[in-house]
């Protein structure tokens, strides 16, 4: 049974993934190239755990146990040397990930599974320079990793059946809901679905059909509300496939089919409006306190959803 893990990269995703493993009885060595990222991770993980205790998602004893289980380190060798499951969560740059995997492979014990949290890079590319690509896999978590149940699992032709089976068992034990792709495709499943929706949402705002609040409300109170219970394919079954065939025939020619990022997002980027991190995106986030509040409220809502799922 895997009980010794390492997470490489302590940013948004790495610290959340470390928390998932720690809460499920694993020892986690959390490594980052930047010391301040490790310090920040400790503070934020402690805050996430405090909220989980407040909301009854874990006990105070489990909170303390999880905090003790995460050992931050500035030594990659120390992080991966004894780990049976190593998760990489460094920035989405192929060359950087290649360097990190080469270092991990030189330090990890034989048989350790090396998992990448990449959002977009193909596994066969990521594993290109590894001596043992059979032990490499993608486990794609969603932000905030400690609350969103889904993890997409992607294998390449070289990935061993044993690595897939061990990764799935490990993720399930950690309380996650893994889905496995039959073959590699860019964006996996969830980001492709999400990108299709985001493209149309931005098109609707950009072409003046509705304002951004109404587009977001249409999703959270309409399809999004439904989709957290039944997925799009089952939704079609309930609506009637004859009806859905007409809907798709009538709508398909009307939908945005642009082949690059939507005009609206390009325009906001050109103006330096990158969302929460610059204080302005589609909406305004004037202070750090506003952002902290919004994240807390978002996480509280996710926690309530999680509790409903568990009933």
- Which residues contribute to the site for ligand NAD (CB under 6 A)? 8-14, 31-34, 37, 89-92, 96, 100, 117-119, 140-143
CB of 143 to ligand NAD, least distance (A): 4
Cβ proximity to ligand NAD, 53 vs 121, nearer residue:
121
For residue 98, the minimal CB distance to ligand NAD (Å) is 11
What is the arrangement of strands in the sheet containing 113-116, beginning at the earlier edge strand? 70-73, 27-31, 4-8, 85-88, 113-116, 136-141, 150-154, 177-180
- Please list the alpha-helical segments (H only) found in the chain: 12-23, 35-54, 60-69, 76-80, 94-107, 123-126, 161-173, 190-206, 212-221, 223-227, 232-239, 241-251, 263-270, 288-310
Q: Report the residue closest to ligand NAD, judged by CB.
A: 11
Query: Would you say 201 or 204 has its CB closer to ligand NAD?
Result: 201
The DSSP bridge partners found for residue 138 are: 116, 154
Nearer to ligand NAD, 13 or 204 (CB): 13
Residue 99 CB-half CA count within 13 A: 8
Instruction: Report the residue number, 31 or 203, with the smaller CB distance to ligand NAD.
Output: 31
CB of 260 to ligand NAD, least distance (A): 19
With residue 140 as reference, give the H or E element that holds it. strand 136-141
Considering beta carbons, is residue 62 or 78 the nearer one to ligand NAD? Answer: 78
What minimum distance in Å lies between the beta carbon of 103 and ligand NAD?
8
């Amino acid at each position: 049974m895997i009980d010794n893990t390492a997470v490489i990269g302590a940013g948004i995703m790495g610290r959340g993934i470390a928390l998932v493993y720690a809460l499920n009885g694993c020892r986690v060595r959390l490594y980052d190239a930047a010391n301040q990222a490790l310090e920040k991770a400790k503070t934020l993980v402690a805050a996430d755990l405090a909220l989980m205790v407040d909301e009854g998602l874990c006990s105070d004893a489990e909170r303390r146990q999880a905090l003790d289980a995460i050992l931050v380190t500035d030594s990659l060798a120390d992080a991966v040397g004894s780990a049976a499951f190593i998760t990489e969560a460094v920035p989405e740059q192929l060359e950087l990930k290649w360097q990190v995997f080469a270092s991990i492979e030189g330090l990890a014990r034989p048989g350790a599974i090396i998992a990448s949290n990449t959002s977009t890079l193909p596994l066969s590319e990521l594993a290109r320079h590894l001596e043992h690509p059979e032990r490499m896999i993608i486990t794609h978590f969603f932000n905030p990793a400690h609350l969103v149940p889904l993890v997409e699992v992607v294998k390449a032709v070289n990935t061993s059946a044993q690595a897939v089976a061990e990764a799935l068992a490990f993720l399930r034990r950690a309380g996650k809901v893994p889905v496995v792709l039959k073959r590699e495709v860019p964006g996996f499943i969830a980001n492709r679905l999400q990108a299709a929706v985001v493209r149309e949402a931005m098109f609707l705002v950009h072409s003046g059909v509705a304002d951004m609040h109404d587009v977001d409300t249409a999703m959270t109170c309409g399809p999004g509300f439904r989709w957290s219970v039944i997925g799009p394919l089952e939704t079609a079954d309930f609506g009637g496939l004859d009806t859905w065939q007409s809907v798709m025939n009538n709508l398909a020619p009307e939908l945005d089919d642009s082949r690059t990022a939507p005009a609206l997002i390009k325009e906001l980027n050109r103006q330096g409006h990158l969302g929460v991190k610059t204080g302005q995106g589609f909406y305004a986030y004037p202070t750090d306190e506003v952002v902290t509040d919004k994240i807390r409220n978002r996480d509280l809502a996710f926690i309530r959803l999680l509790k409903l799922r568990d009933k």
